Amino acid sequence: MDSQTEGFWRRLARRLVSSNDELVSEQLANEAASAGCEQIKDARIRQHIHLRGTIQAITLTPEQDDRRLDVELDDGTGNVTLVWMGRRLIPGIEVGRTLDVWGTLTISDGRRVIFNPAYELAA
């Protein structure tokens, strides 16, 4: 059996025994790596980073005094919360959308957060 055929069977066997979530995570991680982005699992606190991932959830803070938009971004290796202060809506930011973000990674309430990141909607 040649190496190409062997590779096909190995990939097929992995797909049969892997869950959908595992396959999606692997695909997200590969897309981020091919775009030259850092992976969330490897990112360091207080480091300016470039990430690419898929929006998993959007949360609005309802209080008038604390307007903020929280977006959960997943790159297949982990999650980071993007927080835009003073915003209630950003056109194009919706669950399932792929997003490139740039900002400084911090820890807030035990979770990885980037406050007011620069962003670009991926095609």
Mean per-residue pLDDT for 68-85? 93
Higher pLDDT, 107 or 20: 107
Given a contact cutoff of 8 angstroms between Cβ atoms, the answer to whether 104 and 114 are in contact is yes
Q: What is the pLDDT of residue 38?
A: 87
Q: What is the pLDDT of residue 67?
A: 82
- The DSSP 8-state label assigned to residue 38 in this structure reads P
Report whether pLDDT(109) > 60: yes
Selection from 53, 55, 52 nearest residue 96 by Cα: 55
Residue with structure tokens 């396959």?
Answer: 23
Q: Is domain 3-121 annotated with CATH 2.40.50.140?
A: yes
Report whether pLDDT(120) > 80: yes
Higher pLDDT, 63 or 48: 48
Report whether pLDDT(20) > 90: no
Report whether pLDDT(55) > 70: yes
* Identity of the residue numbered 74: D
Mean pLDDT of the chain: 83
Mean per-residue pLDDT for 22-35? 67
Report whether pLDDT(6) > 70: no
Q: What is the pLDDT of residue 86?
A: 86
Q: What is the pLDDT of residue 69?
A: 92
What pTM value is reported for the model?
0.75
